[in-house]
Amino acid sequence: MMSPPLENDLKAAIRNIPDYPKPGIMFRDITTLLGNARAFRRAVDELVQPWPGTKIDKVAGIEARGFILGGAVAHQVSAGFVPIRKKGKLPHTTVRIAYSLEYGLDEMEMHEDAIVRGDKVILVDDLIATGGTAEGAVKLLRQMGAEILAACFIIDLPELGGAAKLRALDVPVRTLVSFEGH
């Protein structure tokens, strides 16, 4: 876990929007954190802090906010970047997996040649809630032969169980701040 002052600093940089996109959901808006140079740098530094000197081949980011963070993290650790996208967006041959959302299923894809068997990969997204999205990404990456070193998120909603779900899949999870509830 992070030191309490640092967690509070990052929390203060995140904007909370009640009842978005629907009643009962508190949307954790990281655009304010991204717009704050100090908070953005600090978040990127802290996301990969446990892996100094580890050779990381690829950082995989989940559309869309995971692209912004994942790109910065990949640059930071001198790794390549792999986009995991909603279906139908990638131009070359893809591999696809279905994953569960709060209501129903969706599919995500990546290019079939984005990962070389044995690549050491860190997965990045802004927030983990139920873990359905990240679980899908882990399975897709593993299907292509990736070794997942960790999954990193700025925000954890621990009551929704996503981080525990990933740890049960033997994926080390790094989160920087947590909020109660949804």
**From 7-15, 22-30, 37-45, 51-59, span contacting ligand AMP (CB under 6 A):** 22-30
DSSP notation for 37-89: HHHHHHHHHHHTTT-TT----EEEEETTHHHHHHHHHHHHTT-EEEEEEETT-
Strands 58-62 and 120-128: what pairing? parallel
Contact letters for ligand AMP, residues 99-138 (x by CB under 6 A): --------------------------xxxxxxxxxx----
- Adjacent-strand bridge partners of 178: 156
Size of the site for ligand AMP (CB under 6 A): 18
Half-sphere exposure of 79 (CA within 13 A, CB side): 30
The minimum distance between CB 37 and ligand AMP, in angstroms, equals 22
36 in contact with ligand AMP (CB under 6 A) = no
What single-letter DSSP state applies at residue 159?
A: G
Residue 83 is a binding residue for ligand AMP (CB under 6 A):
no
> Binders of ligand AMP among 142-171, rule CB under 6 A?
162
State yes or no: residue 27 binds ligand AMP (CB under 6 A): yes
Residue 73 CB, shortest distance to ligand AMP, in Å, is 15
Contacting ligand AMP (CB under 6 A), which of 28, 42, 58, 174?
Answer: 28
Catalytic residues: 65, 102
Q: Tokens 């140079």 correspond to what residue?
A: 37
How many whole angstroms separate alpha carbon 129 and alpha carbon 146? 23
Helix axes 37-47, 4-13, angle to 10 degrees: 130
Going from the C-alpha of 177 to that of each of 1, 11, 30, 44, 129, the distances in angstroms are 8, 7, 12, 13, 13
Contacting residue, 65, 84, 119, 171, with ligand AMP by CB under 6 A = 65
Among 2, 6, 25, 169, binds ligand AMP (CB under 6 A): 25
Q: Which is nearer to ligand AMP, 11 or 65 (CB)?
A: 65
Binding stretches for ligand AMP (CB under 6 A): 25-28, 62, 65, 125-134, 162, 182
